[in-house]
Amino acid sequence: MKSTVIVFPGSNCDRDMKVALEKATGSTVDMAWHGDTDLKPSDLIVLPGGFSYGDYLRPGAMAAKSPIMANVIARAKSGTPILGICNGFQVLCETGLLPGVLMRNASLRYVCRDVHVKVEQPETPFTLAYQKGAILRIPVAHHDGNYFADADQLDRLEGEDQVVVRYCNEDGNVAASANPNGSQRNIAGICDGSRRIVGMMPHPERLFESALGGCDGLGVLDSIKQAVNTAVAH
CA 4 to each of CA 45, 82, 119, 191, 198: distance values in angstroms, whole numbers, following the listed order: 5, 10, 25, 19, 15
Would you state the pLDDT for residue 1? 87
From first to last of its 234 residues, the chain has per-residue pLDDT tens of 899 999 999 999 999 999 999 999 899 999 999 999 999 999 999 999 999 999 998 999 999 999 999 999 999 999 999 999 999 999 999 999 999 999 999 999 999 999 999 999 999 999 999 999 999 999 999 999 999 999 999 999 999 999 999 999 999 999 999 999 999 999 999 999 999 999 999 999 999 999 999 999 999 999 988 887 776 555
Nearest to 83 by CA among 49, 50, 118, 134: 49
The pTM (predicted TM-score) of the whole model is 0.96
What is the C-alpha end-to-end distance of the chain, expressed in Å? 14
Please, what are the domains in the chain? 3-233 (3.40.50.880)
Would you state the pLDDT for residue 228? 79
Query: Do residues 128 and 227 touch, judged by C-beta distance below 8 A?
Result: yes
- Residues that are catalytic: 86, 203, 205
Cβ of 229: how many Cβ atoms within 10 Å?
Answer: 13
Q: Are strands 29-33 and 101-103 parallel, antiparallel or unpaired?
A: unpaired
Cβ of 162: how many Cβ atoms within 10 Å?
Answer: 23
Helix axes 14-25, 218-233, angle to 10 degrees: 60
Dmax (CA) for the chain in angstroms is 48
Residues paired with 117 in a beta bridge: 136, 167
Q: For the purposes of burial, counting CB atoms within 10 Å of the CB of 79, is it exposed (0-12), middle (13-18) or buried (19 or more)?
A: exposed
